[in-house]
Amino acid sequence: MRTQIKSNVFYSSLILFIATISTLQGLCQTSPDQVSGLSLWLRSDTLVTLDGSNNVSDWADLSGNNNDAYNTVVSQRPAFIDSSMGSFPAIKFDGFDDYFELTSTVSVSDLTFIIVLRPDDFTSEGVIGGESQSYFSFLSPTQVRWSRSGPAYTLNHGGIYTLGDFQIVSTYVDGSSFYTSRNKDVYPTPATPGYPPQNLSELGRIAAGNGRFNGAFVELMLFDSRLPDSTRFSVEDYLINKYAPSVDLPDTIFNTNLCPDTTIRVAGSYNSYAWSTGDTTPSIFVTQAGTYSVTVESTLGIASSDTVVVTGPTSDLPPNSDLCFGDSLFITGDLGAQYNYLWSNGETSANIYAKDNFSYSLEISDTLGCTIYSDTMSITLDSFSAYDLLPLDTAVCEGKEISTFITDSIVSDYNWMNSFNTRTITIYTGGTYFVHLTNLNGCTAVDTSNVLLQGESPVVVIGLDTTCFGDSTNFADLSTINNGNIIDWQWQFGDGNNSNDPDPTHLYNINAVYVASLIVTTDSGCSSQSTKTVILRNPPVAGFSQGIICAGVNADFENLSSQAGNDSIISYLWTVDTLLTSTDENITVAFPTPGDYNVTLSVTSQKGCVSEISDSIEVFSELIPSFDVENTCSGEMAQFSNTTIGGGIVAFFWDFGDGIGTSSLASPSYSYSNTGMYQVSFSITNAIGCSITITDSIDIKTLPVADFENNSVCQDAPVILSDNSSLGSDSIVQWQWFHEGLLISDSNTFTYSFSENGLQEIQLVITTESGCTDDVDKNILVEAKPHAEFSFSPRFGAAPLEVEFTNTSENATTYTWNFGDDNSTFSFFEGEHTYIENGNYTIQLVAVNSSNCSDTFTDLISLSDIAPDLEIVDITHEEASPNSHEISVVFANKGVQVIVSADFTLQLNNGMTVLENWKGILYPGFTETFVFSSKVSLAEFTEVKTFCVEARNINSGTEELLDNNRECLLFTDHVVIHAVYPSPADQYVIVDLIDLADREWYIRVYNSIGHQMGSEISLNSTQGLASEIIKTTTFASGIYYIQVESGDERYVQKFHVKRR
């Protein structure tokens, strides 16, 4: 019997398994049968045939290819589980012997495989299988596998596959690679299978009965090519919308009852619910109108949200309102006849008319006992109609105005006698006047006034004369009246001053434009006002200028007077003390003696305005120029200096007396071509143009000629340099010798040596008693000296000792040896020499080249029966910079052999090791200090507990007594394992222990699992450094731990053993 199962309920958890290959865009929620290449399509909700045990015997293919899944063995049929995924069924494989065969083999090379499933066990295999052991399966929460004929290729996925949940996974496979993803992820980095899968013919197991799948299928599909990502996403969206749709709430819920109690329910089934109210159930009960939202998570782990607005009947009153006195306002709160209404003023109808100052609110109730309340609106009565607008009775002068009491700020419209629309009107006749006003709220008011004529208003006219600024202005009242007399005058001059005279006079203090006003009042009490602009004439501005004046020199006075406006100056009058009176525009005056003089200039304009200026002029004495001259040498620049006493000089002129040179500088320089006497003229001019000239003679002398001999010399050999300069009657007082720009001597003769060969430039600068100088540059040929050097072997030993000498000199032709054991010298290139007695001998080699230049090289040989003995005396440290420390070691020669070389090793307990070399000559009984060039950083030094210095390779390794070659410093009160070395070790390891006390320590070695290696070792330490050698020949390669223990103190350090 075949039973067809269908369901429309969405699932909340699902796995999509997809195999895909290229990119296609623009698809959305595509059904599988709309995608080309569909080879197989099985759904658990349709065309499933069940047997009597509710197991599946046949599962029909929907692709149109008739690739049905079936099983003829009743006991090995998968079970049909109804409503396994929400209301959708699933087909369950037990992981033991359940499977399906396909009615026809699906031949594939490249493929896309999509399946909705739930894995229940990662140890089982065989989601789909076929020939040649081709299959696909899960291995772990992060791994899947395609396999064929033995080789298996596993892909680690960035996502996580979970047991017991429906999920979405995607994969494709071809001959070179395969991808996989979960829940619509993009494909991760591909794996590379060696072979593509073969023909697929079974579901739930690997072909030939191997590896059974433990889990449930909901829907699967197989395509014969790789789907583009966009197509794959569209198929996945189809499955997601089918099994796990987004949450969907109605946009609005309207409750006709006044009580807003409402139940909001989510349709469908989801893993979790999160309401904006904090509830986590599928539905909520709300008692207030408002906006509510929910976020759900489907069984695929996909979150979605939606919002609903809960509303009901409301009663909203109009906004606050202003009401004109006597008017009424219609207010409605009508929601229907089924409701009861109660207003704050006690009325019970749905609508009311408001007439008073009052705050209105409405309470509406229904038959269920539910009540809603409106907001409050306030009515404010406008009493504008009761305002007084005009005086009741008033007397007004003819031509005057009357105004309303109400200002423009609250009035929107004026209406006088139905004729005028301004606040004021002008009265020409007596009578009754009325006005109608409308305010900004639209309320109106009306008022009347009885107006009586008081009398005639005068016509005000102001008279004045035009005057110059600085003179008084005359004002006159020219007002008229037909009936009556003017009895009062009120003048305002526009500058803050006033007067009550009929015709006043006023003096303005500031030259500006003023507006003068006059109010006149008649004997009937009527007054009028008028204004007039007062423009003052601009007077001329007198002024003149002159420079600084010297006695006996003509001084020019320039008129600088000016006139503004349309006026002009027509006359001038100058007065200079008792010396001069003139009407000229500009004048010239000669003052006979220095002193102070008064000068006055008066000017008059065409309109009669006058201005005058006076000033006191200082007349200065005459100038007396003077000068000095230095460096009067022929061909050099003579330096002329102005030494005139006093200031005010603005111009200079020099005539240097040779008929050629002149200058306008204050202190110029000039070079004379010939020697001899010259008459120099010097003129100066001060700021007002006063000028005077003096003349003096100077003597120009002959220049010296610098010279010296420049014979060739040997490199580094002393040479005598002497002055050979020539000069006339003068004498040299200074010599300056320069080599490569550096001053090397200030004597006329001196000894010097050149460190570099080749042409060397020497400069001599000489200076005579008269200040004349000369210099000369010459090249001296410096012959290259030879390079003397030799080596010998052996360097150490006991007499008699035959020593072989090797000459390594360069650029030499002859040699002279002295071996230091007698006074004899030898001339040969190289050879052997035998020392008969022990002792320290200085060996000397002199090399001479073809230029007869020589070089000497010396070395020391120390012969003794006793090996050298170096002792480290002390080690110190000090701060070398803000960020580093410097380490120094003091060592002594305790033997009888000279020490010429040693290696020093600095070792910190943090593992830092520094090796540096010392070379020199340390005689027996002497000490030497060696400073490590390597510095210890401050960060490292703060972590150091100990450091040690050891001397090695003394005199090329000839030292035998090594006990005094090592010294350490301890920076803690506790014992320190300074070092365990070498690490990795092979045959042995050395433990260095530093202690401040004398005591016994026990040393044990453990392997990485805590097993003790060998016997315990006892070590008696004294203050300072103690060392112990531990054999490791029987240790296997690995990590070991050294434990040192004394009393309650125990220390452990790790080391490595590596077998070669």
Cα 781 to Cα 759: distance, rounded to the nearest angstrom: 5
Residue 663: pLDDT band (50, 70, 90) is very high
CATH superfamily for domain 544-620: Immunoglobulins (2.60.40.10)
Under CATH, what is the fold of the domain 32-243?
Jelly Rolls (2.60.120)
| Domains of the chain, residue spans | 32-243, 252-311, 321-382, 384-453, 462-535, 544-620, 627-700, 713-783, 790-863, 972-1060
**Per mean pLDDT, which range of 223-227, 488-492, 516-520 is the poorest?**
223-227
**pTM (2 d.p.):** 0.38
Which token pair is 404? 């309303």
Which residues have C-beta within 8 Å of that of residue 342, sequence separation ≥ 6? 348, 362, 363, 364, 365
Q: Among 130-139, 398-407, 499-508, 909-918, which stretch is predicted with the lowest mean pLDDT?
A: 130-139
**Does residue 411 carry a pLDDT above 90?**
no
pLDDT for res 492: 94
pLDDT at 140: 74
Q: What are residue 1006's DSSP bridge partners?
A: 1012, 1041
**Domain at 384-453: CATH architecture:** Sandwich (2.60)
Residue type, 628: D
- Give me the amino acid identity at 830: E
Read off the pLDDT of residues 60-83 as tens digits, 9 standing for 90 and up.
999 999 999 999 999 999 999 998
pLDDT of residue 259 exceeding 90: no
Cα angle, residue 265 at apex, residues 259 and 267 outer, rounded to 5°: 155
The amino acid that residue 27 corresponds to is L
Strand pairing of 676-686 and 649-655?
A: antiparallel
What is the architecture of the domain spanning 462-535? Sandwich (2.60)
Torsion angle, CA of 848/850/851/852, rounded to 10 degrees?
A: 40
Lowest mean pLDDT among 113-127, 594-608, 916-930: 113-127
* Neighbouring C-beta atoms of residue 27, cutoff 10 Å: 18
Which residues fall within 8 angstroms of residue 161, CB to CB, at 6 or more apart? 15, 119, 122, 138, 140, 141, 142, 144, 167, 169, 182
Separation of alpha carbons 68 and 147, rounded Å: 24
Express each pLDDT in 260-285 by its tens digit.
788 999 988 888 899 999 999 999 98
Yes or no: domain 321-382 corresponds to CATH 2.40.50.140: no
Q: Report residue 438 CA to chain centroid gap.
A: 66
- Output the 3-class SS for 179-199: EEEECCCCCCCCECCCCCCCC
- With cut-offs at 50, 70 and 90, classify the pLDDT of residue 845: very high
- The pLDDT tens digits for 96-149 are 889 999 998 887 677 888 888 888 887 767 787 777 666 777 767 777 777 766
pLDDT at 861: 87
What strands lie across the sheet with 371-373, from one edge to the other? 340-343, 362-365, 371-373
Instruction: Tell me: pLDDT of 798 over 90.
Output: no
Q: What is the pLDDT of residues 229-246, one digit of tens each?
A: 889 889 988 988 888 888
What is the arithmetic mean of pLDDT over 209-225?
A: 86
pLDDT of residue 182: 74
Contact 523, 502 (CB under 8 A): no
Please name the residues in contact with 505: beta carbons below 8 A apart, sequence gap of 6 or more.
Answer: 472, 473, 474, 475
- CATH number 3.40.190.10 given to 627-700: no
**Rounded-to-integer distance, Cα 704 and Cα 765, Å:** 10
Report the pLDDT value the prediction gives residue 157, as an integer from 0 to 100: 59
| Domain topology for 972-1060 | Immunoglobulin-like (2.60.40)
Residue 583 has pLDDT above 60, yes or no: yes
Q: Does domain 713-783 have CATH number 2.60.40.10?
A: yes
In this prediction, residues 446-473 reach a mean pLDDT of: 86
Tally of CA atoms within 13 A in the half-sphere of 953 that contains its CB: 11
| Residue 175 CB neighbour total at 10 angstroms | 13
For residue 703, CA distances in Å to 486, 669, 679, 724, 962 come to 109, 17, 21, 15, 76
pLDDT at 20: 31
Q: How confident is the model at residue 425 (pLDDT cuts 50, 70, 90)?
A: confident
Which CATH number does the domain 790-863 belong to among 3.30.450.30, 2.60.40.10, 1.10.3720.10, 3.40.50.720? 2.60.40.10
Mean pLDDT score of the chain, rounded to an integer? Answer: 83
- Of 440-449, 924-933, 996-1005, least confident by mean pLDDT is 996-1005
Q: Which two tokens stand for residue 319?
A: 């906004």
Largest CA distance in the chain: 162
Of residues 435, 428, 432, the one with CA closest to residue 403 = 435
The arithmetic mean of pLDDT across residues 34-60, rounded, is 93
Phi and psi torsions of 574, nearest 5°:
-100, 140
159 has pLDDT over 60: no
| Predicted local confidence at residue 183, as pLDDT | 72
pLDDT at position 645: 83
pLDDT recorded at residue 746 = 92
The first and second tokens of residue 745, run together, are 């001597």
Q: What percent of the chain has pLDDT over 90?
A: 24
- Which pLDDT does position 34 carry in this prediction? 92
Is the model's pLDDT at 501 over the cut of 70? yes
What pLDDT is attached to residue 476?
92
H-helix or E-strand containing 938? Answer: helix 938-943
CA dihedral 487, 493, 495, 498 (to 10 degrees): -20
pLDDT computed for residue 765 by the predictor: 92
713-783 has the same fold as 32-243: no
